[in-house]
Chain A
Amino acid sequence: MSTHSPEHHDSRHPSFKQYSLIAIALFAITAVEFLIIVPERFQGAGVVLAPLIALSALKFAIVIMFYMHLKFDNRLLGGVFITGLVLAFMAGSAVLLLFGSFQPTPRDYAAANAVAYTHPGEGGAHEEVEMEQPVPGVTPDGGTEMVVEEPAGGSDLVARGQAIFTGSGGCLACHTIEGIASGVVGPDLTNIGTDGATRQPGVSARDYITEAIKMPEAFVPTGVERAIPGLMTSALTASLSDADVEALVEFLLAQQ
């Protein structure tokens, strides 16, 4: 380009032709990235992970070196930027490690070992200890041993239902039952034992709850907060056996 500019390093900037070549290179890399994932066997496959990340890193490097002239500019500017970039990369990796994203844990195992979330601030400021207590009826290895600790619930079936609700069933992820679970995606089930009878005219609470678990799509009540059609589907509950559903129904009927 011109040498009339007061910017002393301007002459070292790429020319129009060079910039055009850089742009074409960036387009070509993007096109290659797209073509890589066109064959169905590569879609979401692990083998394309490395090439895709390498190609995007290459584009990233080309843009900062040439378009942002780090290649020609003072090294302090590059140092400042790379410091933030490396910090971001390390912090991100640390978060992924912390959440076990690199060490696969079977879903069921994790779900069975989940502990009910107790709402902070309801019973006192320090509830960490309480939160770490295992859910009654769920052993750390994922089994659903009968541990009856619920004086109000009474029967084994209710305790088993609670274990499924807070454990392998994963219900607590979306539903609230005061003192047991505090999901905010689906309807509040704190009083479902009594509310259940009023949801559908002529249908008992037991039948209503059973259907709501087995075929959530079949009937969605109106006027119930967070009862959204299509949000809960039978696919979510397909893994529950009839005995599991029976236990869950008993547990939910006890919520009055």
Chain B
Amino acid sequence: MAYASGQLPTTDVDHTYTTTGLNHRKLLMWTFLSSDCLFFGALIATYMVYRGQSLVGPYPIDIIDIPLTTISTFVLLCSSFAMVQALAATNRNDQRGIQLWLLATILMGATFIGFQIYEFNAFRMEGLKIDTNLFGTTFFTLTGFHGAHVTLGLVWLTILLIMGRKGKLGPAQSLDVEIAGLYWHFVDIVWIVIFTLLYLIGGFDAGPTAGLLIEPSLLSLPT
């Protein structure tokens, strides 16, 4: 078996002694998510600093498609619901439920990525690439890293689904599913922030915004 979880002391999570009384893997995941807040915080702050400072188009208002992204946001929210159901099915040893809900989560996550690929491609056709302007650079960096997180989550969930199909997921592996779920929900909440700031609020930004600081020397990069 590729996944070594069977050898890990997951069956007696509540009896393993730790100084905090908490399972180390779960604490590790929360600590990682905490640090990931800083990672995305830096990318979001960078986007906000350069908002309205692109000197050439396309600008957000020219290409951002809010209705389309609202649909993909719904899909990602739905996948989080499926994820909590997968964990609940694991806890009650509902083998059919485990596979069904995990598959649903994966399919919806993949749909979200499909929307993102479509969007990136549409932007490229409209003339926005990562090196076109500050909007392109900050937008693709932020949403691209989010997409990478979703993709990693899909790989993780697929591994769990394979385990589930082999009948190797049950109440004893509850923590395995829960930790994957924590990661998945985190990716969802990061998108909640991105959707609000980049689409609902920033999606109507036009060219260089009067009244925002512009420092041309900052735009010149050392070659």
Chain A positions within 8 Å of B, measured between CB atoms, are 1-2, 4-8, 10, 13, 16, 19-20, 22-23, 26-27, 30, 33-34, 36-37, 43-44, 48-49, 52-53, 55-56, 59-60, 63-64, 67-68, 74, 76-77, 80-81, 83-85, 87-89, 91-93, 95-96, 99-101, 103-107, 110-111, 114-117, 119-120, 170, 172-174, 176, 181-185, 230-233, 235-236
Residue on B nearest A42 in the bound complex, by CB: B204
Instruction: Note all chain A residues with C-beta closer than 8 A to B74.
Output: 27, 30
B174 CB, nearest partner CB in chain A, Å? 5
Number of A-B residue pairs, CB cutoff 8 Å, is 227
Instruction: Note all chain B residues with C-beta closer than 8 A to A37.
Output: 66, 200, 203-204
Rounded to whole angstroms, the CA-CA distance of A41 and B88 in the bound complex is 44
Q: A83 contacts B185, CB within 8 Å?
A: no
Instruction: Note all chain A residues with C-beta closer than 8 A to B34.
Output: 80-81, 83-85
Instruction: Note all chain A residues with C-beta closer than 8 A to B81.
Output: 19-20, 22-23, 67
Do most interface residues of chain A lie in helix, strand or loop, or is the interface mixed?
Answer: helix
Q: B45 contacts A6, CB within 8 Å?
A: no
Rounded to whole angstroms, the CA-CA distance of A194 and B67 in the bound complex is 51
Q: Which of B175, B181, B185, B203 has the most A CB atoms < 10 Å from its CB?
A: B185
Q: B215 contacts A16, CB within 8 Å?
A: no
| Chain B 79-104 near chain A by CB (<8 Å), digits 1 or 0 | 01101110010011100000000000
Q: A52-B200, A76-B20, A80-B34 are in contact. Are A96 and B189 (CB under 8 A)?
A: no
Q: A119-B222, A174-B55 are in contact. Are A100 and B213 (CB under 8 A)?
A: yes
Instruction: Note all chain A residues with C-beta closer than 8 A to B35.
Output: 84
Q: A104 contacts B213, CB within 8 Å?
A: yes
Instruction: Note all chain A residues with C-beta closer than 8 A to B174.
Output: 5-7, 10
Q: A89-B41, A95-B49 are in contact. Are A1 and B219 (CB under 8 A)?
A: no
Docked complex: B190-223 residues within 8 A CB-CB of A: 192-193, 195-196, 200-201, 203-205, 207-217, 219-223
Instruction: Note all chain A residues with C-beta closer than 8 A to B200.
Output: 33-34, 36-37, 52
Q: A60 contacts B192, CB within 8 Å?
A: yes
A40 CB, nearest partner CB in chain B, Å? 10
Q: A117 contacts B66, CB within 8 Å?
A: no
Rounded to whole angstroms, the CA-CA distance of A10 and B185 in the bound complex is 18
Instruction: Note all chain B residues with C-beta closer than 8 A to A19.
Output: 81, 84-85, 88
Rounded to whole angstroms, the CA-CA distance of A8 and B83 in the bound complex is 20
Residue on A nearest B55 in the bound complex, by CB: A173
Q: Which of A30, A64, A110 has the most B CB atoms < 10 Å from its CB?
A: A30
Docked complex: B17-47 residues within 8 A CB-CB of A: 20-22, 26-27, 30-31, 33-38, 40-42, 44-46
B201 CB, nearest partner CB in chain A, Å? 6
Q: A173 contacts B216, CB within 8 Å?
A: yes
Q: A44 contacts B92, CB within 8 Å?
A: no
Q: A80 contacts B220, CB within 8 Å?
A: no
Residue on A nearest B182 in the bound complex, by CB: A68
Q: B92 contacts A5, CB within 8 Å?
A: yes
Out of A44, A64, A84, A100, which one reaches B205, CB within 8 Å? A44
Residue on B nearest A8 in the bound complex, by CB: B14
Instruction: Note all chain B residues with C-beta closer than 8 A to A89.
Output: 41
Rounded to whole angstroms, the CA-CA distance of A154 and B11 in the bound complex is 84
Q: A81 contacts B192, CB within 8 Å?
A: no
A-B CB contact pairs (8 Å), 25 listed? A10-B91, A13-B91, A16-B85, A16-B88, A34-B66, A67-B80, A77-B22, A77-B26, A80-B31, A84-B34, A84-B38, A89-B41, A91-B38, A92-B44, A95-B46, A101-B48, A116-B217, A117-B222, A119-B222, A170-B55, A173-B55, A176-B223, A181-B220, A184-B221, A232-B56
Rounded to whole angstroms, the CA-CA distance of A8 and B13 in the bound complex is 10
